[in-house]
Amino acid sequence: MEEFLEKGFLEASLRQIVKHAGVTTGAFYGYFSSKQALFASIVEPHAAKMMSRYVDAHIAFSELPAEKQPEHMSVESDSYIHWLVDYICENRKPVKLLICRAEGTGYENFIHDMVEIEVDSTFKYFETLRGLGKDIPELTPSLCHLIASGMLGGIFEIVIHDIPREQAVRDVEQLQAFYTAGWLKLMSP
């Protein structure tokens, strides 16, 4: 993990990894098929857990009756985001590896993949609101993408800048308040 954190996936040296692990290259290949497989063994459990919880939160919200969705909007979002902040803070090194050092791997677009889910869910929510008779202005996919990227990217700044947990919780709560106010403004006719 240290070699990947220091140099990133692309620049990490398999020679250095096996040297620091005290094994031969042959022994390494007895455990992993490649440097990519080693990297994946470190980040995959964390990527899968964060993404799974994220998707589950979106599904749970979308399965609520349409008339209950507006009152539950912040409940599901707050619950996931608080969980995510705790998870990031409890797993800083592998999450930092995933977010900051995954270039050249299948994980390099992790935040972007979350953003795509967010944008899709946002447009489904707009349709639900319109179905309830709310006058929701037309917003472009590019704008929704920018907003979701800012929010999710902002949350992961916790690990990028090693923000202590207590400060991270406060910062993310204020970030949520900022984005909530912005969404309310954009969604008012």
Residue 153 has pLDDT above 80, yes or no: yes
Q: Please give the share of the chain, as a percent, with pLDDT higher than 70.
A: 100
Answer yes or no: is pLDDT of 189 > 90: no
Q: Give pLDDT, residue 188.
A: 84
CA distance between the termini of the chain: 50
Res 76: pLDDT: 75
144 has pLDDT over 90: yes
* pTM across the whole model: 0.92
The rounded distance, in Å, linking the Cα atoms of 33 and 35 is: 7
CA angle 52–53–54, rounded 5-degree value:
90
CA–CA separation, 158 vs 162, rounded Å?
Answer: 6
Which of 154, 159, 187, 186 shows the shortest CA–CA distance to 173?
154
Interior angle at CA 16, CA 161 and CA 39, nearest 5: 55
pLDDT attached to residue 72: 85
Other Cβ atoms closer than 10 A to 90: 9
pLDDT, residue 12, reads: 96
- Give how far the C-alpha of residue 7 lies from the chain's centroid of Cα atoms, to the nearest Å: 22
State what percent of residues in the chain have pLDDT above 90: 92
User: pLDDT digits over 51-108, tens only?
Assistant: 999 999 999 999 999 999 988 887 778 889 999 999 999 999 999 999 999 999 999 9
